[in-house]
């Protein structure tokens, strides 16, 4: 029997309040350079410590052993969607990251401005990494002239340096397509093709890309050095079962950065705008307590510090978080999970595969008798090491949302 179908069959609607707090990239590793302490271990966290005494702990594998996830798979896993089953194209992720409010069926492409010679050969795939302002100017030029192709709306949004995204919003469109990118210099831009030759929607989409090139290239033909562009990761927003239907929990997202707002919207969470700090996010949670069953609260600064390899900044980000935690606990949820979407160890300067620690608190979580919430402590917890996609199921169980299976 399909496990998701079983969970669904056993799910009961309850009036529990369930909160998932994600400290992005929380997990870390203990190294000699830092006296064998992780930032979480080195930080002073009286509020997390108090919570830990009454909580269960464990560690979560974001995708599969050894796999380092991007933010997309990391969050889909936390939202209970198998990241291997529900794959989101890079164009979609990029568009979400730039704050484009995607609609189901939108096809997105990551794009780069590039330099072409007189014969259309790519001589610089990144057009010398033009400044962001130039990119914004070029995107504005394209946006002004290419608003629609047939009945398809074209949305162009500038990113950093040479990067931008193009979103195609229309009927009967689908990805994935091959790239309009030779992936090296010295070649012309290849014509995109459907990944599945028999898929008529992909065929229509490939034609649309060709038409887009026909209209857009002349607009920037006289620019220097960015007189062309490449497109990659062309795919539609995948159909993902709505969070509320799947878990019988009415969800809201309290995130500051566009990427995480976007990822929560992919599964149909209601975006709550406004709060900028974790204290403000928690205040807003308290204010919205009665309006939703499930709150996803995203905190970015642990990941940022990890990416920079800045141990002290990561420790500080954790301490800032801990200081704000009592605001959340003013309206104590029935079930609270605090974790990361993956590890971003300072020693790695980026995302990694190391299982992130998770703390699960409810009246029924039990206590693992751990004095603190840390990676090393989490190794000893009752939750063990498990795949992140099961966290939401444990939260539902703690909310008494599952009927007994079998007599």
- Of 64 and 188, nearer to a second copy (C-beta) is 64
Total of residues contacting a second copy (CB under 8 A): 72
Question: C-beta of 180: minimal distance to a second copy in Å?
Answer: 18
Instruction: Compute the chain's Rg from CA coordinates.
Output: 23
- The tokens of 134 are what? 């130039």
- The tokens of 151 are what? 């009945």
- Which letter, b or e, does each residue of 201-239 get, where b requires 16 or more Cβ atoms within 10 Å of its Cβ? bbbbbbebbeebbeebbeebeebebbbbbbbbbbbbbbe
**For residue 50, which of 329, 363, 365, 385 has the smallest C-alpha distance?**
329
Question: C-beta of 170: minimal distance to a second copy in Å?
Answer: 24
Question: C-beta of 394: minimal distance to a second copy in Å?
Answer: 5
Q: Which of residues 376-405 bind a second copy (CB under 8 A)?
A: 376, 379-386, 390, 393-394, 396-397, 402-405
**66 part of the interface to a second copy, by CB under 8 A:** yes
- Of 164 and 285, nearer to a second copy (C-beta) is 164
Among 19, 93, 158, 278, binds a second copy (CB under 8 A): 93
Residue 286: other Cβ atoms inside 10 A: 12
Q: Which of residues 302-361 bind a second copy (CB under 8 A)?
A: 345, 347-348, 350-355
HSE-CB of 105 using CA atoms within 13 angstroms: 8
Among 99, 190, 367, 371, binds a second copy (CB under 8 A): 367
Q: Which of residues 269-298 bind a second copy (CB under 8 A)?
A: none
**7 part of the interface to a second copy, by CB under 8 A:** yes
Among 31, 132, 178, 310, binds a second copy (CB under 8 A): 31
- Of 200 and 380, nearer to a second copy (C-beta) is 380
Among 18, 21, 30, 165, binds a second copy (CB under 8 A): 30
Question: C-beta of 328: minimal distance to a second copy in Å?
Answer: 20
| DSSP class of 364 | T
**239 part of the interface to a second copy, by CB under 8 A:** no
**d(C-alpha 74, C-alpha 26), whole Å:** 12
Whether residue 226 contacts residue 113, with contact meaning beta carbons closer than 8 Å, is answered with yes
**d(C-alpha 240, C-alpha 229), whole Å:** 31
Residues 6+ apart with CB under 8 A from 21: 297, 299, 328, 336, 337, 338, 339
**d(C-alpha 288, C-alpha 271), whole Å:** 12
Whether residue 60 contacts residue 376, with contact meaning beta carbons closer than 8 Å, is answered with no
Stretch that binds a second copy, among 92-100, 112-120, 162-170, 321-329 (CB under 8 A): 92-100
- The tokens of 365 are what? 């979580």
Question: C-beta of 345: minimal distance to a second copy in Å?
Answer: 7
Q: Which of residues 159-198 bind a second copy (CB under 8 A)?
A: none
Among 69, 159, 251, 333, binds a second copy (CB under 8 A): 69
- End-to-end C-alpha distance for the chain, whole angstroms: 17
- Of 74 and 275, nearer to a second copy (C-beta) is 74
- Of 32 and 184, nearer to a second copy (C-beta) is 32
- Of 76 and 139, nearer to a second copy (C-beta) is 76
**32 part of the interface to a second copy, by CB under 8 A:** yes
**262 part of the interface to a second copy, by CB under 8 A:** no
Stretch that binds a second copy, among 2-10, 123-131, 141-149, 214-222 (CB under 8 A): 2-10
Whether residue 182 contacts residue 122, with contact meaning beta carbons closer than 8 Å, is answered with yes
**24 part of the interface to a second copy, by CB under 8 A:** no
**For residue 347, which of 36, 59, 24 has the smallest C-alpha distance?**
36
**d(C-alpha 191, C-alpha 207), whole Å:** 9
Query: Helix or strand or coil: residue 302?
Result: helix
Whether residue 228 contacts residue 182, with contact meaning beta carbons closer than 8 Å, is answered with no
- Of 157 and 351, nearer to a second copy (C-beta) is 351
- Of 47 and 68, nearer to a second copy (C-beta) is 68
Among 8, 70, 217, 248, binds a second copy (CB under 8 A): 70
H or E element at residue 395: helix 391-398
């Amino acid at each position: 029997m399909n496990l998701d179908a079983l969970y669904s069959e056993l799910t009961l609607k309850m009036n529990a309040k369930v909160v998932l707090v994600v400290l992005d990239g929380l997990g870390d590793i203990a190294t000699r350079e830092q006296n064998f302490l992780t930032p979480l271990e080195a930080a002073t966290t009286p509020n997390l410590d108090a919570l830990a005494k009454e909580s269960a702990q464990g560690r979560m594998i974001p995708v599969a052993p050894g796999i380092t996830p991007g933010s997309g798979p990391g969050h889909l896993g936390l939202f209970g969607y198998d990241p291997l089953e529900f794959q989101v194209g890079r164009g979609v992720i990029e568009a979400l990251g730039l704050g484009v409010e995607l609609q189901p069926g939108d096809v997105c492409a990551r794009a780069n401005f590039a330099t072409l010679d007189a014969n259309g050969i790519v001589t610089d795939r990144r057009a010398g990494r033009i400044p962001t302002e130039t990119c914004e100017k070029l995107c504005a030029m394209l946006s002004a002239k290419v608003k629609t192709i047939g009945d398809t709306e074209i949305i162009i949004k500038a990113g950093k340096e040479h990067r931008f995204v193009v979103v195609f919003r229309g009927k009967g469109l689908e990805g994935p397509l091959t790239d309009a990118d030779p992936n090296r210099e010295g070649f012309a831009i290849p014509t995109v093709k459907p990944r599945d030759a028999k898929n008529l929607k992909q065929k229509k989409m490939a034609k649309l890309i060709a038409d887009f090139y026909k209209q857009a290239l002349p607009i920037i033909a006289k620019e220097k050095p960015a007189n062309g562009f490449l497109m990659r990761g062309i795919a539609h927003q995948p159909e993902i079962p709505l969070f509320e239907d799947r878990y019988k929990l009415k969800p809201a997202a309290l995130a500051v950065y566009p990427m995480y707002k976007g990822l929560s919207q992919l599964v149909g969470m209601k975006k709550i705008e406004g709060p900028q700090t974790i204290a403000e996010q928690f205040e807003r949670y308290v204010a919205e307590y009665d309006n939703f069953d499930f709150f996803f609260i995203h905190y970015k600064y642990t990941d940022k510090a990890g990416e920079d390899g800045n141990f002290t900044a990561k420790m500080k980000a954790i301490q800032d978080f801990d200081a704000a935690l009592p605001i959340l606990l003013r309206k104590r949820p029935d079930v609270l999970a605090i974790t990361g979407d993956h590890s971003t160890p300072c020693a790695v300067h980026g995302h990694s595969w190391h299982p992130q620690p998770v703390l699960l608190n409810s009246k029924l979580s039990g206590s693992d008798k751990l004095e603190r919430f840390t990676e090393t402590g989490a190794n000893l917890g009752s939750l063990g090491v498990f795949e992140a996609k099961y966290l939401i199921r444990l939260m539902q169980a703690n909310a008494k949302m599952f009927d007994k299976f079998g007599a």
